[in-house]
Amino acid sequence: MMNVLRDIGRGRGIGIGRNGREIGRGIARGIASCSSSSSSPSLLSSLSPSPPGPPPPINENENENQGGDVKSMNLFSAINQALHIALDSDPRAYVFGEDVSFGGVFRCTIGLTQRFGRNRVFNTPLCEQGIVGFGIGLAAMGNRAIAEIQFADYIYPAFDQIVNEAAKFRYRSGNQFNCGGLTIRAPYGAVGHGGHYHSQSPEAFFCHVPGIKVVVPRSPQQAKGLLLSSVRDPNPVVFFEPKSLYRVAVEKVPASDYMLPLSRAEVMREGSDITLVGWGAQLSVMEEACIEAEKDGISCELIDLRTLIPWDKDTVEASVRKTGRLLISHEAPVTGGFGAEIAASVVERCFLRLEAPIARICGFDTPFPLVFEPFYLPTKNKILDAIKSTVNY
């Protein structure tokens, strides 16, 4: 066990690649096997998803180009490419949501209607509960339903469908039914001018719900691989996209069909004095703080959680055991944020290794305010100050 943890702790080492690959194959198997989960040949089982041909290729080691075609692209293009692949590789995949037909308000679905037709890529009426409920039904009939909620701030009308329906579909039926083919994409987070309703980070609400997975990518390359895994995962997934990065972040993204493992954190940066845990857009702010701290001789380990539930406690625990300190940062209000869950788990697992209180640098406990955004956000210097006070505790 410790060996595995150490391997994971090394992050970019060979260990993670190997393990990752195995997990990745597991995902592929999961997809293939969900088609035979029903024992008697019923309508439902005959409709269950079984991707045509061999399972999609899996590129586990995202840090190495496997020699295939690679293009620089931004986040929305990477999402768009993943959606193209998802639709292309599974004739039972569908993409829908408000304003999806013309390409979506963030251009993530551009070109999909033209390529795959209005039956597979379509506008829905303006109704989030309808979008998710429709997606659950579609998925329960053995399809891959990729639903777009225009802004994470507008996911709440669908809360009941997600929390009471999608999350409990498998459990309440004794695994006769499932809506694992459902993926809900929603742009989240601050953009500089979004105010109350175009800025929120609602991930913590969904992390309190057993039965769904919550995934947040940090970059174009991550987004493509994680989205394809989410779409093909046999469980419903809420996939929050950092909308501030849609057009900003550019990264080399393999053109191939690749998946990145869910529930697997990634050590983005190795260090020995303090562990920083975050996800999505906040990671770039945290990375800047790490670089600054380095100048002061503080060595920071930065972890991208990637999947928030079920989350990779082992990677975080291994890192904290090494550094003895932990800082968590997210844009959502600090109280009841997912940072609280991480902090509690780390205290449970490595109380005696902690050398300082766990720091949480997050949004304030206010609604997201338009003109006060620069004050509200967990900035680089707020993080840097907390790194220093934690290390000098």
Partner 1 sequence: MALFLRRTTNIIKHFLVTKSSLATNQTSLTPSFFSVSHNVCSKSYGLAPIPAVFRRMESTKAAELKLDPQFYSSEEEEDDREYPSSEPEGMDFPGGKVMFTSQMSFIAEPGKTRVPCYRVLQDTGVPTSGEIHKLVSEDLATRMYNSMVTLQVMDTFLYEAQRQGRISFYMTSHGEEAVNIASAAALSSEDIILAQYREPGVLLWRGYTLQEFTNQCFGNKADRGKGRQMPSHYGSIKHNYFTISSPIATQLPQAAGAAYSLKMDNKDACVVAYMGDGCTSEGDFHAGMNFAAVMEVPIVFICRNNGYAISTPITDQFRSDGVVVKGQAYGIRSIRVDGNDALAVYNVVQTARQMAISEQRPILVEALTYRVGHHSTSDDSTKYRPASEIEHWKIAKSPITKFRTWIERNGWWNEEDELEIRKRIKKEMLQAIQVAERLEKPAVAELFTDVYDQPTKDLVEQEMLLRESIIKHPKDYPTDYAV
Ligand X SMILES: Cc1ncc(C[n+]2csc(CCOP(=O)(O)OP(=O)(O)O)c2C)c(N)n1
Residues numbered 163 to 192 that lie near partner 1 (CB under 8 A) are 192
Nearer CB in complex with partner 1: 112/231 = 112
What distance lies between CA 324 and its chain's CA centroid?
Answer: 26
Which residues in the 194-213 window bind partner 1 by CB under 8 A?
A: 194-198
According to the binding rule CB under 8 A, does residue 365 interact with partner 1? yes
Kindly state whether residue 337 participates in binding partner 1, applying the rule CB under 8 A: no
Partner whose footprint covers residue 195, from ligand X, partner 1, none (CB < 5 to 8 Å by kind): partner 1
For the bound state, the minimum distance from the C-beta of residue 13 to partner 1, rounded and expressed in Å, comes to: 36
- Pick from 260, 249, 255, 182: nearest CA to 225: 260
Q: Which of 150, 235, 319, 329 binds ligand X (CB under 6 A)?
A: 150
Q: How far is the CB of 176 from partner 1 (least distance, A)?
A: 26
Supply the minimum distance, in Å, between the C-beta of residue 99 and partner 1.
Answer: 5
367 binds, among partner 1, ligand X, none (CB under 5 to 8 A by kind): partner 1
Binding residues for partner 1, rule CB under 8 A, total 44
> Does 371 interact with partner 1 (rule: CB under 8 A)?
yes
Q: Choose from partner 1, ligand X, none: what does 177 bind? Cβ within 5-8 Å by kind.
A: none
Q: Which residues are catalytic?
A: 128, 198
Binding residue (CB under 8 A) for partner 1 from 41, 53, 125, 297: 125
Verify binding: residue 154, ligand X, rule CB under 6 A.
Answer: yes
**Is 126 near ligand X (CB under 6 A)?**
yes
Q: Does 382 bind partner 1 (CB under 8 A)?
A: yes
Taking contact as CB under 6 A, which single stretch among the options 11-19, 55-63, 149-157, 377-385 is the one that binds ligand X? 149-157
Spatial distance between the Cα atoms of 168 and 161, rounded to a whole number of angstroms: 10
Residue with Cβ nearer ligand X (13 or 103): 103
- Distances from the Cα of 49 to the Cαs of 29, 55, 171, 191, 349, in angstroms? 12, 12, 19, 37, 39
374 contacts partner 1 (rule: CB under 8 A): yes
Residue of minimal CB distance from ligand X? 154
For the record, the structure tokens of 53 come out as: 């041909």
Per rule CB under 8 A, is residue 119 in the interface with partner 1? no
**Residue 376 beta carbon to partner 1: minimum distance, rounded to whole angstroms:** 7
Write out the chain in H/E/C secondary structure.
CHHHHHHHHHCCCHHHHHHHHHHHHHHHHHHHHHHHCCCCCCHHHHHCCCCCCCCCCCCCCCCCCCCCCEEEEEHHHHHHHHHHHHHHHCCCEEEEECCCCCCCCCCCCCCHHHHHCCCCEEECCCCHHHHHHHHHHHHHCCCEEEEECCCHHHCHHHHHHHHHHHHHHHHHCCCCCCCCCEEEEEEECCCCCCCCCCCCCCHHHHCCCCCCEEECCCCHHHHHHHHHHHHHCCCCEEEEEEHHHCCCCEEEEECCCCCCCCCCCEEEECCCCEEEEECCCHHHHHHHHHHHHHHCCCCEEEEECCEEECCCHHHHHHHHHHHCCEEEEEEEECCCCHHHHHHHHHHHHHHHHCCCCCEEEEECCCCCCCCCHHHHCCCHHHHHHHHHHHHCC
Per-residue binding string, ligand X, 301-330, x by CB under 6 A, is: ------------------------------
Q: Is 15 or 157 the residue whose CB approaches ligand X more closely?
A: 157
Buried b (16+ CB within 10 A) or exposed e, 317-326: bbbbbbbbbb
- Binders of ligand X among residues 93 to 112 (CB under 6 A) are 98
Which CB atom, from 128 or from 233, has the smaller least distance to ligand X? 128
Residue from 29, 71, 172, 193 touching partner 1 (CB under 8 A): that is 193
| Cα angle: 329, vertex 238, 35; to 5 degrees | 140
How many amino acids of this chain bind ligand X (CB under 6 A)?
6
Does 50 sit near partner 1 (CB under 8 A)?
no
Contact positions vs partner 1 (CB under 8 A): 98-99, 101-103, 105, 122-130, 153-154, 156-157, 192-198, 334-335, 364-367, 369-372, 374-376, 379-382, 385
Contact positions vs ligand X (CB under 6 A): 98, 126, 128, 150, 154, 157
